[in-house]
Chains A and B, each alone.
Chain A
Amino acid sequence: MPTVAHGFFIQPGQESWTNVSDVLADLAGVEPEWRIGAALLLPRRKLAFWQNAVDEWSGATDFILADPESTRMDRAYSERGLGRADYRYLAESDPVANPERFVRNALQAQQHAGATTLVSPWLRHGVTQTEHELSATIAFATLAEAMAGDFDLLMGVEATEGVFGSDEARNAMVNELIEGPELPVYLRMHFSAPAGYGQYRQQKALEGLRDVVRALDANDRPVVMPQAGMLGLLMSGFGARSFGAGMAASLQRNTPPSGGGSGAPPLPWYFVPQLLGFVLAEELHDIADVEGFEVCDCPYCDGALPATGAAFDRMAAGKHFLWTCARLAAGLDEKDAFGSVKRLIDGAVDFADAVAEDGVPLDPRSAPAHLTVWQDVMSD
């Protein structure tokens, strides 16, 4: 169960599963005490693919989730994922009209894939001006609770950043959720992909997310945050128990937002835990001279800075990011997660100041502009 203690789960995306297998095996071998899981993004692959992956990963993980990504239900059938033909819930024409069949099939699909903890399907709240999707989400969770049997169950919930950023909409959502089944919440905040490379820093929405996580936790509904990356770490200070990220969150597949369309090569991003953000690999050599920097000792960095130029190893950088997420989650104090996160952010601000004072030139895309916003979010 991903809510037992603070933990991290890997969410494989487009990369080869062997990369994920490597990281999971290394984590299990080197840091067996860390709480690690995996969350399949179910519709994106055929059932057999996920079953094989789970066979490989189950020995190295504390839990496995099979995220039903049920917001794909608002797309045409042909766009619901490569594995759509294998999962009957994705063929449902109207989940709200046929909730029992939809929920049963969504849970069965997760079980077939090998999930150890199930997630009730959901619709995205905030896309219409009604609470229709929220009501359906709660109804799905109520049905799922009755169907889950001996499986642990999370209640899937997703809302737009507009809902989180509005006091009235956010409170109304939380007030409805706490009237629903008393289940841990698998919570996503939906926002459009940012135009740049930095960490998420919309202050109003972040404060709203913080308030939601805190309110749900106070009402005995601990939160799990999929596809959250450092945002999940930030929210661990307010009650989130586990968060997920994949290689894609390490920016290794991002192309520059040049406006010139796709095709540009990805930039060599490297995650710097001291900044809780990414910098370009070539910048790291100057940053490494700043007091407070520590070279990463994960199996993929092995005490060395990443190579630059053509020698830059993107997969190693991605694995380093996943490993670092797991390390940061494992380092949270179970009794004072807020204090742990606050110390990390305050430390990152201090380190960013030191980088600036030392005159290290940073590309504007590497500047840790999120840190002061995150500090404000922590200050309330």
Chain B
Amino acid sequence: MVETVEVTADLISDGLGAFDELEFLGRGTFGTTFRALRGESETAIKVIHLVDMPAYLWERELTSLATVDHPNVVGLIGSGTFKALGRELSFLECEYVSGGSVEARVRTGERPRKDELRALLTGLLAGIAEIHDLGIIHRDIKPANVGLRDGEWGSPVLLDFGVAKVLDMTSHTAVGQMVGTAPYMAPEQLRGRPARTRSDLFAVGLVVYEAGTGRHPFRSPDVQTVQSLYDRITSGPPEDPRVSADWPDDVAEVVLRILSAEPHERLSVARALKDLGAR
């Protein structure tokens, strides 16, 4: 069992100095995130609450990520460690994306229009194309990790980088676990194989499908475990989103292709963007 610490605003202030505002945003699998305001600067600070996770696991990717300047990839401002509770805790400081996440918007029942859906997909594809070119794999793309700049469906921003590599180092997807731990993983990840670029692509498909239909393409009352999720994904494609929602044909076709169970059957990012007329 991995030990965790409870990250509070006071703990961050003790470690990183005083802020004008520290607003709790959420606690994920391995990090706790706050919106931090200091003077004119508004950022998001994520503190890794898993204890004894060596920083080298994600340092290389963060170094690469720091060079990225792309509208669909969150800007990394810095990273480091601070002492608190007698331990050394790692943190990341990123651009704060104020428009909420895809997850939050889906929960309200709102759906993107056709043009917004296309822009959501092309934006996410452009974002992963950028990071993949640098050798970075996100590994944890899900509706909660896609921000919407200024609240616009058509301006998605990939959030929460680097630390997802920790997922590969832990037994997160043992068959038999409840599906709630892994609904946005590609089938190869569910089988315990390392995430690859096309694993990110699959996750983009899941996010866009869910944004455009309001539901996960593979989950149902029968799908409760990682094994049953894997079996469902590999048994065939999901329902065509055009059955229940008004989708552009090319967007639906690209999403269905990138949701293929076998990575080599997914369109490459470049091909998907080309099919959407974005390149």
Show the binding face of A for B, using Cβ within 8 Å.
171-172, 174-175, 178-179, 215, 218-220
Asked if residues A175 and B262 are in contact (CB atoms below 8 Å), the reply is yes
Cβ contacts under 8 Å, A218 to chain B: 264
Chain A residues near B196: list those with CB within 8 A: 175, 179
What's the nearest-Cβ distance from chain A to residue B208, in Å?
Answer: 21
**Highest count of chain B CB atoms <10 Å: which of A172, A175, A220:** A175
- Cβ-closest chain A residue relative to B271: A220
Listed A/B pairs (18) with beta-carbon separation below 8 Å:
A171-B262, A171-B264, A172-B193, A175-B188, A175-B196, A175-B198, A175-B264, A178-B263, A178-B264, A179-B197, A179-B198, A179-B263, A215-B265, A218-B264, A219-B264, A219-B268, A220-B268, A220-B271
Q: Of the candidates B188, B193, B198, which one forms a contact with A178 in the assembled complex, judged by CB atoms under 8 Å apart?
A: B198
**A174→B262 CA distance, assembly (Å):** 10
User: 8 Å CB contacts to A: which residues of B235-279?
Assistant: 262-265, 268, 271
Within 8 A of A (CB), among B169-197: 188, 193, 196-197
Residue of B nearest to A220 (CB): B268
Closest to A215 in B: B264
Whether the pair A175, B268 counts as a contact (CB closer than 8 A) is no
Which B residues touch A220, using CB under 8 A? 268, 271
Binding site for A on B (CB under 8 A): 188, 193, 196-198, 262-265, 268, 271
Q: Chain B: which residue is nearest A131 at the CB level?
A: B193
Tell me the dominant secondary structure on chain B's binding face: helix
**Complex interface: chain B residues within 8 A of A215 (CB):** 264-265
A88 to B209, CA, bound (A): 54
Task: Tell me, in angstroms, the Cα distance from A220 to B197 when the chains sit together.
Answer: 15
Instruction: Report Cα–Cα, A218/B197, bound state, in Å.
Output: 17
Shortest beta-carbon distance from B83 to chain A in Å: 39
Distance to closest chain A CB from B137 (angstroms): 9
Query: A278 CA to B197 CA in the complex, in Å?
Result: 46
Q: Which residues of B contact A179 (CB under 8 A)?
A: 196-198, 263
For B263, the closest partner residue in chain A by CB is A175
A220 to B264, CA, bound (A): 11
Q: Which residue of A lies closest to B188 (CB)?
A: A175
Taking a contact as CB atoms under 8 Å apart, the answer to whether B268 and A174 are in contact is no
A219 vs B201: C-alpha distance when bound (angstroms): 14
15 A-B pairs besides A171-B264, A174-B264, A179-B196 with CB distance below 8 A are A172-B193, A175-B188, A175-B196, A175-B262, A175-B263, A175-B264, A178-B198, A178-B263, A179-B198, A179-B263, A215-B264, A218-B264, A219-B268, A220-B268, A220-B271
| Contact residues in B for A219 (Cβ distance below 8 Å) | 264, 268
Chain B, Cβ-Cβ closest to A171: B262
CA distance A362 to B265 in the complex (A): 44
Chain A residues, Cβ within 8 Å of B264: 171, 174-175, 178, 215, 218-219
Chain B residue numbers with a CB within 8 Å of A174 are 264
A8 vs chain B, min Cβ distance (A):
27
Least CB distance from A64 to B in Å reads 31
Least Cβ–Cβ distance between A213 and chain B, in angstroms: 12
- The smallest beta-carbon distance between A214 and chain B, in angstroms, is 10
CB distance from A22 to the nearest CB of B (A): 42
Closest to B262 in A: A171
Determine the chain A residues whose CB is within 8 A of the CB of B197 once the complex forms: 179
CB closest chain-B residue, reference A175: B263
Task: Please measure, in the bound complex, the distance between the C-alpha atom of A348 and the C-alpha atom of B265, giving whole angstroms.
Answer: 32
Per CB-CB distance, the 8 closest pairs between chain A and chain B, nearest first, are: A175-B263, A174-B264, A215-B264, A179-B196, A178-B264, A175-B264, A171-B262, A219-B264
| Chain A nearest Cβ from B185, distance in angstroms | 15
User: Separation in Å of the B258 CB from the closest CB of chain A?
Assistant: 13
Q: Which chain B residue shows the least CB distance to A178?
A: B264
Q: Which residues of A contact B265 (CB under 8 A)?
A: 215
A344 CB to closest chain B CB, in angstroms?
A: 28
Cα(A54)–Cα(B188), bound, Å? 46
Measured between C-beta atoms, what is the minimum distance from A43 to chain B in Å?
A: 32
The residues of A that contact B268 with a CB separation of less than 8 Å are 178, 219-220
- Across-interface contacts of B263 in A (CB, < 8 A): 175, 178-179
- A176 (CB) vs chain B CBs: closest residue: B196
Minimum CB–CB distance for B192 against chain A, Å: 12
Q: Contacts of B188 on A, CB cut-off 8 Å?
A: 175
Please indicate which of the listed interface residues B196, B197, B263, B265 has the most CB atoms of chain A within 10 Å of its own CB.
Answer: B263
Nearest chain A CB to B269's CB is how many angstroms away? Answer: 12
Query: Chain B contacts of A175 at CB under 8 A?
Result: 188, 196, 198, 262-264
Q: Which residue of B has the minimal Cβ distance to A179?
A: B196
Distance in angstroms between the alpha carbons of A259 and B46 in the assembled complex:
72
Shortest beta-carbon distance from B32 to chain A in Å: 32
Chain A positions within 8 Å of B198 at CB level: 175, 178-179
Residue of B nearest to A214 (CB): B264
Q: How far is the CA of A171 from the CA of B262 in the complex (A)?
A: 7
Task: Give the residue name and chain of the B residue nearest to A173 (CB).
Answer: B264
A221 to chain B, nearest CB (A): 10
A residues in contact with B193, CB < 8 Å: 172
- B199 CB → nearest A CB, Å: 10
**Which of A179, A215, A218: most chain B CB closer than 10 A?**
A179
| Bound form: Cα–Cα A174–B271 in Å | 18
Q: How long is the Cα–Cα vector from A175 to B202 in the complex, in angstroms?
A: 13
Within the assembled complex, what's the spacing in Å between the Cα atoms of A245 and B27? 61
